[in-house]
Structure formats: structure tokens, C-alpha cells
Amino acid sequence: MIPDDVSNQVQGLIKSLVSQAGCDLVELNVHSCRGEVRLQVIVDWPSGGITVEECSALNRRIAQRIEEGQLLSDNYTIEVSSPGVDRPLQSEKDFLRVRNRHIRVFVAEPVGTKMELSGRLAGIEGQKVILKRDDQEIVIPFSNIKRAVQMIE
């Protein structure tokens, strides 16, 4: 098991490097199992669209800094990846990354008569998501969203 102070150092280092790169840290998981530490780092640009090459470069930079600081033994792996199109949209930043793309939203309370809506994400106003479908704008409060995902076009 990785000691808390080392885990906190590694997490701080990763957050700092991601921020320096101008990326958003979408998710960070540190797992320890059978003496191996696994770092899962999910990043994206604020507007979305991070590439495999950019993730790979960030992976190398993180590994270099971990080795320079001798923070972990040799028995660790780092995975830096994008959120992927199938990852649920949960935060305001998640929605902003897919602006102008098609999404599907499942709601807790009907919007009109619908419990599932889809359309192009036009933007966010306050605590509301704005979908465009045909020539219609559909406004959905964040508090009414049970689940939202980007649609593959």
C-alpha cells in the first residue's frame, strides 16, 4: 500500500504538471495492489479534443518527475488518457468540453413530456444546459439531469 504522504505528493505533482500543460484534470486515481502502484490520469483541454500524442507526452513528463523525485519504486504504471466519448458528462467543465456537439440527456423530471432528450449542446447559462434541436432551444436545469453522454456522430 502506498503511504498517504507519498500518495499526496504524487497527486500534487500530477495536478501541477497537468495544470502547467494547460489541461483540465478530469479524474485522477491512485491504486496500490500487490506492491504495484497504478496511476490513472484522465485529462482534456478545456475545449476538448486532446490527442493520444499529447497524452503520451504528459505521461512521459509525469514519469520523469516521479523518477527525479524518487517518489515511487520502480513498480508503478501510469495511464494518461482522454475522457473518451462514452464517459458520462458530470461537471460543468465536462459539458463545456463538448459544446457544439450532440449529447443525450436523461432527466429525473419530464421536460415537456420527455424523459430523454438529445440535441446539440448550445451552451450553459447559470445552472442550466441549453440544447438546440432543429430550431428549438431546450433548457434543462443541472438539478434535473440524471445522466448525460456525448453522442457519437
Mean pLDDT of 110-135: 93
- pLDDT tens figures, 49-76: 899 999 999 999 999 998 888 888 778 8
Considering the domain architecture, whether residues 75 and 129 belong to the same structural domain is answered as no
Tally of domains in the chain:
2
Higher pLDDT: 22 or 6? It is 22
Q: Please identify, among 81, 108, 124, the residue that sits at the C-terminal boundary of a domain.
A: 81
pTM here? Answer: 0.77
What is the share, in percent, of the chain residues with pLDDT greater than 90?
A: 59
Position 7 confidence tier, pLDDT thresholds 50, 70, 90: confident
Segment of 3-7, 16-20, 34-38, 63-67 carrying the highest mean pLDDT: 16-20
3-state secondary structure the chain: CCCHHHHHHHHHHHHHHHHHCCCEEEEEEEEEECCEEEEEEEEECCCCCCCHHHHHHHHHHHHHHHHHCCCCCCCEEEEEECCCCCCCCCCHHHHHHCCCCEEEEEEEEEECCEEEEEEEEEEEECCEEEEEECCEEEEEEHHHEEEEEECCC
**Closest C-alpha among 24, 29, 80, 28 to residue 57:** 80
Considering the domain architecture, whether residues 73 and 98 belong to the same structural domain is answered as no
Computed over every residue of the chain, the mean pLDDT equals: 90
pLDDT of residue 3: 66
Residue at 130 is within a domain: yes
Q: CATH code at 33? A: 3.30.300.70
Residue at 75 is within a domain: yes
pLDDT of residue 36: 85
- Which domain range does residue 19 map to? 4-81
Lookup: cell for 123? 451552451
Q: Please identify, among 62, 81, 100, the residue that sits at the C-terminal boundary of a domain.
A: 81
Lookup: cell for 63? 514519469
Lookup: cell for 113? 413530456
HSE value, Cβ hemisphere, 13 Å, CA-based, for 138: 24
Is the pLDDT reported for residue 87 higher than 80?
yes
What is the share, in percent, of the chain residues with pLDDT greater than 70?
A: 97
